[in-house]
């Protein structure tokens, strides 16, 4: 009998119909075929050492980082690091509890105060990640009988927030004001609607035409607006609040969702709002209640970073300079880019297929440059792309080196003539 039980556990003997993994077979086969060509796995990079926001050691080689979300380079800011070390000494390694039980320390209140000041809003609620902020806010705000209207290219966390709740989901064509207007027009006027937009769309690096979208939304009754500024915080607008600040629609936005994992340089997520009843969220939002709060060192680093980002005009200016320069140079070299003009700190290089994208990615890595390789379903309409994101701490000399590496790798792989 023991022999039979053992036999039943060997993978080959498990009947196909009972194997929950068989749905992944096409993906496993695709990856095995790609790896068999001898390329390095773009999804298994290890940073052996991180020397600065823009430089790491990968397999013994000094590598310029052009594929992080470290837009403002705050990860190694001396004040940020000192605040984290102090909190670790004073409050320990973790809270071991939910925000609504034992997991709210003075540091959590302080980072929420920093966010209220940064955004000039009445309420701020901090989550353990930005993913959870979208999951929680979207699923809790829009309930049964309500509608969520979202851009088709929305981030996975926005989609997952929709799926966690009970509202009806309506998608409109990416950045299409006309389609947004049309779809809102088909919904019952008396139904409550949550329109979810992003300031910067992270795959192509394009920004939303928020004033036109707000004007279209205002033609319809009972709409609230949420903008995800994950990639806009720190960089856009006079106070670094995001694209919605830069485009002057602050008065029309009901909720801003953001993250500490990009410009802030640590981990965590948040939502800010002026809605007088916003704080009830702390009692009813499951991804806030049923998870442990952020460690004290993390909230201390976040609060320090956010306060410094309020006065980071010089960094913002240098990041724009880097972004415009790299965009112009890559376009001049003949690469196909995600946007015709530089719109954000993200510059996406679109390749013809997976083979070319991986070849180019690997050629860059061998020259000493790391970029993100992105593929469907993360990317829109089946594209394979190399996503470059600049940092305010990239020196002009590093940008010069980056351009030279793209030229060499592009020619070696045939991506450019
Ligand atoms: N929203 C958008 C638009 C994002 O790109 C991301 C992360 N890539 C998130 C939310 C989630 O942020 P976090 O890393 O804090 O979970």
Residue-wise pLDDT tens digits, 142-180? 999 999 999 999 999 999 999 999 999 999 999 999 999
Of 69, 199, 261, the residue with max ligand 1 atoms within 8 A of its CB, to mutate for a pocket test, comes to 261
pLDDT given at position 11: 55
pLDDT given at position 379: 84
pLDDT given at position 184: 98
pLDDT given at position 354: 87
Separation between Cα atoms, residue 81 and residue 305, nearest integer Å: 9
Residue-wise pLDDT tens digits, 6-58? 444 555 555 566 789 999 999 999 889 888 888 888 888 999 999 999 999 99
| The two structure tokens encoding residue 274 | 């002026």
User: Which ligand 1 atom is at minimum distance from the Cα of 131?
Assistant: 16
Categorise residue 237: left if φ over 0, alpha if ψ from -120 to 50, beta otherwise.
Answer: left
User: Which ligand 1 atom is at minimum distance from the Cα of 259?
Assistant: 15
| 33-72+312-413 under CATH 1.10.760.10, yes or no | no
Note whether ipTM > 0.90 here. Answer: yes
Phi first, then psi: give them for residue 327, nearest 5 degrees: -60, -50
Beta strands in 163-314, from DSSP E residues, in sequence order:
168-172, 193-198, 200-201, 206-207, 223-228, 255-259, 269-273
Burial 295-323 (b: 16+ CB within 10 A, else e): bbbbbbbbbbbbbbbeebeebbebbbebb
The residue extents of the domains of the chain are: 33-72+312-413, 77-309
Phi first, then psi: give them for residue 214, nearest 5 degrees: -60, -40
Say what the alpha-carbon torsion angle 136, 166, 225, 390 is, to the nearest 10 degrees: 50
Of 155, 159, 374, the residue with max ligand 1 atoms within 8 A of its CB, to mutate for a pocket test, comes to 155
pLDDT given at position 378: 81
β-bridge mates for residue 250, sequence order: none
Nearest CA among 94, 85, 202, 96 for reference residue 155:
202
Pocket of ligand 1 (CB under 6 A): 129-131, 134, 155, 157, 198, 202, 228, 230, 259, 261, 269
Distance 114 CA to ligand 1 centre (A): 20
Distance 254 CA to ligand 1 centre (A): 19
Of 68, 130, 229, 344, the residue with max ligand 1 atoms within 8 A of its CB, to mutate for a pocket test, comes to 130
Q: Whose CA is nearest to atom 12 of ligand 1?
A: 130
Distance 228 CA to ligand 1 centre (A): 9
Distance 242 CA to ligand 1 centre (A): 14
Residues of the chain with pLDDT under 50: 1-8
pTM for the whole structure:
0.94
Distance 39 CA to ligand 1 centre (A): 28
Nearest CA among 243, 248, 268 for reference residue 258:
268
> Please, what CATH class does the domain formed by 77-309 belong to?
alpha beta
Distance 201 CA to ligand 1 centre (A): 11
pLDDT given at position 13: 58
User: Which ligand 1 atom is at minimum distance from the Cα of 134?
Assistant: 10
């Amino acid at each position: 009998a023991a022999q039979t039980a053992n036999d039943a556990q060997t993978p080959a003997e498990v009947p196909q119909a009972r194997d929950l993994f068989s749905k992944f077979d096409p993906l496993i086969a695709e990856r095995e075929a790609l790896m068999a060509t001898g390329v390095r796995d773009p999804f298994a990079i290890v940073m052996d050492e991180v020397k600065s926001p823009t430089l790491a050691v990968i397999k013994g080689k000094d590598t310029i980082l052009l594929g992080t979300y470290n837009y403002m380079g705050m990860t190694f800011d001396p004040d940020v690091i000192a605040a984290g070390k102090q909190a670790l000494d004073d409050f320990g390694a973790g809270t071991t509890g939910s925000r609504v039980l034992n997991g709210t320390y003075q540091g959590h209140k302080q980072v929420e105060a920093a966010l209220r000041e940064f955004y000039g809003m009445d309420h701020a609620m901090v989550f353990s990640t930005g993913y959870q902020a979208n999951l929680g806010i979207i699923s809790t705000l829009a309930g049964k009988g309500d509608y969520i209207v979202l851009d088709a290219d929305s981030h996975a966390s926005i989609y997952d927030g929709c799926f966690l709740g009970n509202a009806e989901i309506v998608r409109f064509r990416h950045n299409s004001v006309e389609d947004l207007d049309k779809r809102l027009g088909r919904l019952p006027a008396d139904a409550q609607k949550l329109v979810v937009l992003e300031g910067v769309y992270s795959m192509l690096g394009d920004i939303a035409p928020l004033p036109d979208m707000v004007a279209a939304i205002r033609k319809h009754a009972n709409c609230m607006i949420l903008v995800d500024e994950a990639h806009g915080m720190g960089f856009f607008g006079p106070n670094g609040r995001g694209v919605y600040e830069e485009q002057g629609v602050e008065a029309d936005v009901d909720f801003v969702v953001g993250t500490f994992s990009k410009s802030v340089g640590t981990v965590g997520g948040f939502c800010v709002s002026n809605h007088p009843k916003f704080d009830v969220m702390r009692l009813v939002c499951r991804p806030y209640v049923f998870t442990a709060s952020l460690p004290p060192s993390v909230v201390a680093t976040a609060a320090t970073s956010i306060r410094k980002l309020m006065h980071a005009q010089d960094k913002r200016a240098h990041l724009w300079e880097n972004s415009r320069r790299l965009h112009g140079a890559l376009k001049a070299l003949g690469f196909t880019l995600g946007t015709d003009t530089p719109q954000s700190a993200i510059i996406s290089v679109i390749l013809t297929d997976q083979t070319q994208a991986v070849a180019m990615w690997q050629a860059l890595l061998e020259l000493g440059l790391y970029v993100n390789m992105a593929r469907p379903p993360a990317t829109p309409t089946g594209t394979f792309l190399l996503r470059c994101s600049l940092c305010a701490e990239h020196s002009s000399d590093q940008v010069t080196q980056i351009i030279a590496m793209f030229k060499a790798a592009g020619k070696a792989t045939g991506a450019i003539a």
